[in-house]
Amino acid sequence: MRQYFNWKTYLAIIALLIVGASLYYTSELAGKLAVEEKKKVEELVSALKTLGSVTNTNSQENAFAGNVIERNTTIPLIITDEKDGIINSTNIDTTGAPNKERVIKDKLEEFKKIHPPIPVDYGTGKNYVYYGESYLLTQLRYFPYVQLAIIILFLIVVLIALSTAHRSLQNQVWVGLSKETAHQLGTPLSSIEAWLELLRDNELNNEAVIEMQKDLDRLKLVADRFSKVGSAPQLEEENLVTRLGSIVDYMQKRAPKKVTIALHHKEDDIPVNISGPLLDWVMENLIRNALDAMEGHGRIDITIANYPQQVWVDVQDSGKGIPAYQVKKVFTPGFTTKKRGWGLGLSLSRRIVEKYHHGSIYVKQSEVGKGTTFRIILRR
């Protein structure tokens, strides 16, 4: 279950608990206020009955009843006769309405849906009092939803801020690590180059020197790649077929004998603006991961598809595949399925493709036991 829970999940759960508690508490308050308002309406109905009684001659009772009616300045009321004819209304805003009678009739239909009417029996006939909810009660009912919207907005802002800070920290770690690696490689590379010069003095070492020089050049290229991670590279137009062909040749010589690496393309010239050394790094990383997944035997197919606005590069292997629950994590810094490794290869590859080449890289397809396909999309 740990794969489905992280700090974001717990933050969302806490927010939902706060909203739930707020909804419950506000609902309780609204219920209590609704009960109080009903009592006020019943008192008002009693006052109306007192004033409307022909047998009542007590001036104090009449004064008290009139006072009860006058104190109601919040609850909207509509008084009707037995045939739903509107006799009077109060606390209903009709300011600016072209047809005030229409507004009151609409309110009457609304009140009928909210509360049942309270009859006023005068002995000689009946009236009915329909009532709605006060402005305060209405606001109280809507308050939890406003609060929910505010909390969601707050969470979004917090998550964006934390995500931005996290990415910034990752960038600083990557840049610092890359710069330091390039710096540390510089000294031994210079020393190895000096030793190669000494070996060249003996003709018997020519073949070994040639191969060592190739590997030395490759190490220099690796150091150059690390040095470029922290700064925006200069993109230059290159033939992608030629560039990837050289990578395939290099990796094929260093792959197990039972592994075949093949490049497929329909066109021989596919010009794309790229940083050659950095794109080589991405391809080498994908091929190395594929070699690790195949455990000494299998096939790697690299397919280039040329379109007017984009170029697709698919790297397909016949390895052990990636479980579905891990597919979304493969580009996360620190995530690795290997016993040895820092889990930065695919994360750096994504940075190179997306940030420096303004393209995209993702797992197109993966099936356990059958293999994985990564797709790189480079824009024109």
Q: Which two tokens stand for residue 89?
A: 């209304």
DSSP string, 35-50: HHHHHHHHHHHHHHHH
Distance CA 161, CA 148 (A): 20
For the beta sheet containing 371-379, the strands, ordered from the edge strand earlier in sequence to the opposite edge, are 258-265, 297-306, 310-317, 371-379, 360-367
Q: Which two tokens stand for residue 74?
A: 């919040």
pLDDT tens over the chain, length 380 residues: 454 556 667 777 887 788 788 888 888 888 888 888 888 888 887 877 776 664 555 556 556 556 666 777 788 888 888 888 888 888 888 887 788 888 888 888 888 888 888 888 777 778 888 888 888 888 888 887 787 788 788 878 887 887 787 777 766 766 676 666 766 777 777 888 888 888 887 877 788 888 888 888 878 877 776 776 666 778 999 999 999 999 999 899 889 999 999 999 999 999 999 998 889 989 999 999 999 888 889 999 999 999 999 999 999 999 999 998 888 888 887 777 766 666 678 888 998 899 889 999 999 999 998 999 999 999 98
Give the chain's domains with CATH numbers.
2-133 (no CATH), 233-379 (3.30.565.10)
Q: Which pLDDT belongs to residue 161?
A: 85
Q: Which two tokens stand for residue 219?
A: 């190490």
Dihedral sign (CA 168, 334, 185, 213): negative
Q: Which two tokens stand for residue 170?
A: 């990752």
* 247 and 285 Cβ atoms separated by less than 8 Å: no
* 149 and 106 Cβ atoms separated by less than 8 Å: no
Distance CA 263, CA 272 (A): 17
Q: Which pLDDT belongs to residue 310?
A: 95
Distances (CA, A) of 159 to 2, 3, 9, 12, 224: 20, 19, 11, 10, 35
* 351 and 362 Cβ atoms separated by less than 8 Å: no
What pTM was computed for the model? 0.54
Q: Which pLDDT belongs to residue 98?
A: 82
Q: Which pLDDT belongs to residue 183?
A: 67
For residue 117, the one-letter residue type is P
Give Cα 53 to chain centroid, integer Å. Answer: 67
Q: How many residues does the chain have?
A: 380
Distances (CA, A) of 2 to 37, 77, 235, 357: 50, 57, 42, 35
Residues paired with residue 302 on neighbouring β-strands, in sequence order: 263, 315
Q: Which two tokens stand for residue 226?
A: 């690390």
Distance CA 75, CA 118 (A): 14
